[in-house]
């Protein structure tokens, strides 16, 4: 998508979050997995702010909510 839009003035930012504290894991019966264990998810507001800041900075990719990401 970035390649298609790059000459139009439209920016594309991909937000790549880790687990987020929402009802998704509970609804999907995923709470017993390591990835979605209680307390492992990030605050949705923190993820949204990181994505928004990355978009304003013109970043193509924003990785947020993954403290172990290297």
Q: What would the pLDDT profile of 46-63 be if each residue is shown by its tens digit?
A: 999 999 999 999 999 999
- The Cα–Cα gap between 11 and 64 comes to 19
Task: Name the more confident of 10 and 25.
Answer: 10
Q: Is the pLDDT of residue 68 over 70?
A: no
Per-residue pLDDT averaged across 14-42, rounded?
A: 83
pLDDT value, residue 62? 95
Residue 70 lies in a domain: no
The domain containing residue 58 runs over which residues? 41-65
Residue 53 lies in a domain: yes
Classify residue 43 by its DSSP letter. Answer: P
What's the burial of 48, exposed, middle or buried (CB within 10 Å: 0-12/13-18/19+)?
middle
pLDDT value, residue 27? 86
- The count of structural domains within the chain is 1
Residue 2 lies in a domain: no
Q: Is the pLDDT of residue 69 over 90?
A: no
Residue 57 lies in a domain: yes
The model carries a pTM of: 0.75
Residue 28 lies in a domain: no
Residue 46 lies in a domain: yes
Instruction: Count the Cβ atoms, other than its own, within 10 Å of residue 56.
Output: 10
Residue 54 lies in a domain: yes
């Amino acid at each position: 998508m970035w390649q298609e839009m790059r000459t139009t003035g439209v920016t594309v930012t991909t937000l790549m979050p880790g687990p987020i504290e929402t009802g998704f894991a509970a609804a999907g019966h995923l709470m017993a997995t390591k990835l979605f264990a209680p307390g492992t998810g990030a605050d949705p507001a923190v993820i949204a702010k990181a994505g928004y800041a990355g978009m304003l900075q013109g970043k193509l990719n924003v990785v947020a909510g993954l403290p172990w990401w290297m």
